[in-house]
Amino acid sequence: LGRRINAAVQDLGKSNVVDEQALDALLKEVCSALLESDVNIKLVSKLRDDVKKKVDIKNQPSGANRKKIIQKTLFDELCHLVDGQTEPFKPKKGKSNVIMFVGLQGAGKTTSCTKLAVYYQRRGFKVGLVCADTFRAGAFDQLKQNATKAKIPFYGSYTETDPVKVAKEGVDKFKKEKFDIIVVDTSGRHQQEQELFAEMVQIGEAVEPNQTIMVLDATIGQAAEAQSKAFKESSNFGAIILTKMDGHAKGGGAISAVAATNTPIVFIGTGEHIHDLESFSPKQFISRLLGIADLQGLMEHVQTLNLDQKDTLKHIEQGVFTLRDLRDQMSNVMKMGPLSKVASMAGLGAMASQLPEEETSRRVKGMIYIMDSMTEKELDSDGVMFKEQPTRIVRVARGSGTSVREVEEVLLQQQVMANLAKKMGGKGGMMSQMKNLA
Ligand code: GDP
Ligand code: MG
C-alpha cells in the first residue's frame, strides 16, 4: 500500500501541471490502495469527496504550492479518519478507576490488560488486575503469570464459575484496599455470540466501569466493523486497543471500527512482551499505513510524532547523558516505524546498515528490555555504578533474560553518547556556543 501511494504522490510531484485530472488520478490510486488494505468502501469514497472539496483545485493558484496543499489535505483527511473525535478517558488518582476489557477470544485482552496495568503502574498508580474469564480453562493461570512477572496484584478464582461474581468480588476487594486503577479482564468467544454479549452486559452492570476498552486484533481486516459495532451495542466501550501491529498488519480494518463506533484507538500492541504497548497517534498510524519513502517525509514524520526529547536535550546541554536518556532515544526509534531509515538518524547507523531491519528492531528491543530491568537510580545514573559494582550487571542480565555481554554493550553505547554530550554540552560546549550565535 505504502509503495503505491508514494508512487502516486511522486507522480504528482513529477508532473508540471497539477490540474483536476492529475488530482483525480492521484485520488484513484490512493483509494484503490486503501480498499486493498481493508478500509471500508464508504469511508474511501467519502475521503475522496472530502479531499476534492477541500482542495478545490479550480480556485487554487497554480504552481508548486498546489502539490503541497494536495498532499497536506490528503494526509489530514486520512488522519481525521482515525482520530475518533472524542477525548479518551484519563484516570484520576485518589479514586478507584475501573477499566473493563472486552473483545473476542485471542484478540489480546489478557496480554493488553497486563500491558496497561504496567503502563499505569510506571506512572505511579496503584493498579490491580481482576480475572473475570471463567470460560476458558487456564485463563486465570495466564493472568496470574503475567501479573506475577510484572509484580501487579491480582484477583481470580479456580473454582468459581460465575464471571459476574468473580468480577464483583475482585473489584470490591481492590476498591476497599484503595487501588487507583482496577483492570477487569473478561472472557471471549471465537465468534460474536449472544451469550458473550449478555455476559459483558452483566459484568458491566456489576462492576460499573469508568472505562470500557475493546481489544481489536489488527489482522482481522474487514471483520473489524461488524465486530466493533456488536460490542458497542452491548458494552458501549469508550476506547479501542489495536493489537498485533508488530506483524504485517497495517490495521486498515481498524479505520472502519473507529468510524463505525466514533471511538478512538488509545493504544496499539506491538508484541507479546509486557512493554510492547504504545500510545496511539493518528499521524503515526497513517504514516505507517502510507509508508514514508523520502527524507522530507521522514523529517515531517518525525516532527508529527511529538516525541518526548526535552529532558534529553536539556541533559545534553548540561553535558550529561544518562541511561534513561538512552532508553528514551531507543524507544523513540521503535515508535518511528521504518526502522533502518530512522535508526541512522538516531546514531545507530552502522548497526542499521549492516543488519536486516528485523534484526535491528530485535536488537533495539533487547536494549530496551535491558534498561527496563534497571532500577530508577541506575537509569538516572551515568553508568559508573555498574563499573563499581559489577554484580549489578549480572542482576540486570538475569532480569532481562540477556547476557552480561549484552548489558555491557548497552553500557558502552551510553558511554559513547555521554562522552559526546560532554563535548557538546557545558558552558563552553558546542550547544551553548550555538545558542549564543542564535
Ligand atoms: P485474549 O483471548 O483476548 O485474552 O488474548 P490473549 O491476551 O491471550 O492473546 C492471544 C495471543 O495473542 C497470545 O499468544 C498473545 O501473546 C498474542 N498477542 C497479544 N497481543 C499481541 C501483540 O500486540 N502482538 C503480538 N505479536 N502478539 C500479541
Ligand atoms: Mg484472555
Q: In the chain, where are the structural domains located?
A: 2-81, 97-275, 308-433
- Grid cell 477470544 — which residue? 105
Q: What confidence category does residue 9 fall into, taking pLDDT thresholds of 50, 70 and 90?
A: low
Beta bridge partners of 7: none
Widest pairwise Cα distance in the chain? 73
Which pLDDT belongs to residue 430?
57
When pLDDT is averaged across residues 71-88 and rounded to a whole number, the result is: 82
Which pLDDT belongs to residue 4?
61
Which pLDDT belongs to residue 279?
87
Predicted confidence (pLDDT) per residue in 27-71, tens digit? 887 787 788 778 888 899 999 999 999 988 888 776 657 777 777
Of 110, 203, 91, the C-alpha closest to 150 is 110
Highest mean predicted confidence (pLDDT) among 26-30, 316-320, 392-396, 429-433: 392-396
The values of phi and psi at residue 322, to 5°, are: -90, 175
Q: Please check the confidence at residue 216 and state whether its pLDDT lies above 80.
A: yes
| 84 in contact with ligand 1, CB cutoff 6 A | no
Of 317, 349, 311, 316, the C-alpha closest to 333 is 349
| 283 in contact with ligand 1, CB cutoff 6 A | no
Which pLDDT belongs to residue 2?
53
Of 319, 428, 307, the C-alpha closest to 382 is 319
- Whether the Cβ atoms of residue 165 and residue 173 lie closer than 8 Å to each other: no
97-275 carries CATH number 3.40.50.300: yes
Q: Please check the confidence at residue 13 and state whether its pLDDT lies above 60.
A: no
| 360 in contact with ligand 1, CB cutoff 6 A | no
When pLDDT is averaged across residues 276-295 and rounded to a whole number, the result is: 69
Beta bridge partners of 133: none
Give the distance (Å) from ligand 1 centre to CA of residue 104. 11
293 burial class (0-12, 13-18, 19+ CB within 10 angstroms)? middle
Which of these ranges, 220-224, 284-288, 308-312, has the smallest mean pLDDT? 308-312
Q: What confidence category does residue 237 fall into, taking pLDDT thresholds of 50, 70 and 90?
A: very high
Predicted confidence (pLDDT) per residue in 105-128, tens digit? 999 999 999 999 999 998 899 999
When pLDDT is averaged across residues 240-246 and rounded to a whole number, the result is: 93
**Ligand 1 test: best mutation among 116, 272, 278, 361, most atoms within 8 Å of CB?**
272
Of 315, 336, 339, the C-alpha closest to 326 is 315
Mean pLDDT (the chain) is 82
SS3 (DSSP) at 170: helix
| 170 in contact with ligand 1, CB cutoff 6 A | no
Which of these ranges, 207-221, 235-249, 352-366, has the smallest mean pLDDT? 352-366
Task: Give the total residue count for the chain.
Answer: 438
The values of phi and psi at residue 217, to 5°, are: -80, 125
As residues whose CB is below 5 A from the ion ligand 2, the structure lists 109-110
Q: Which residues of 337-347 are buried (b: 16+ CB within 10 A; e: fewer)?
A: bbbbbbbeeee
Give the distance (Å) from ligand 2 centre to CA of residue 185. 7
Euclidean distance between CA atoms 130 and 138, whole angstroms = 14
Euclidean distance between CA atoms 290 and 39, whole angstroms = 13
Percent of the chain at pLDDT > 70 equals: 80
Eight-class DSSP state of 19: -
Predicted confidence (pLDDT) per residue in 288-316, tens digit? 676 543 334 444 444 444 455 567 777 87
Give the distance (Å) from ligand 2 centre to CA of residue 109. 5
Which pLDDT belongs to residue 180?
97
More confident position, 437 or 418: 418
Euclidean distance between CA atoms 320 and 105, whole angstroms = 47
Q: What's domain 308-433's superfamily in CATH?
A: Signal recognition particle, SRP54 subunit, M-domain (1.10.260.30)
Euclidean distance between CA atoms 132 and 185, whole angstroms = 6
Tell me the CATH architecture of domain 2-81.
Up-down Bundle (1.20)
| 114 in contact with ligand 1, CB cutoff 6 A | no
Ligand 1 nearest atom to the CA of residue 107, by list position: 3
Q: Please check the confidence at residue 400 and state whether its pLDDT lies above 70.
A: yes
Predicted confidence (pLDDT) per residue in 147-202, tens digit? 999 999 999 999 999 999 999 999 999 999 999 999 999 999 888 789 999 999 99
- Whether the Cβ atoms of residue 291 and residue 298 lie closer than 8 Å to each other: no
Which pLDDT belongs to residue 296?
41
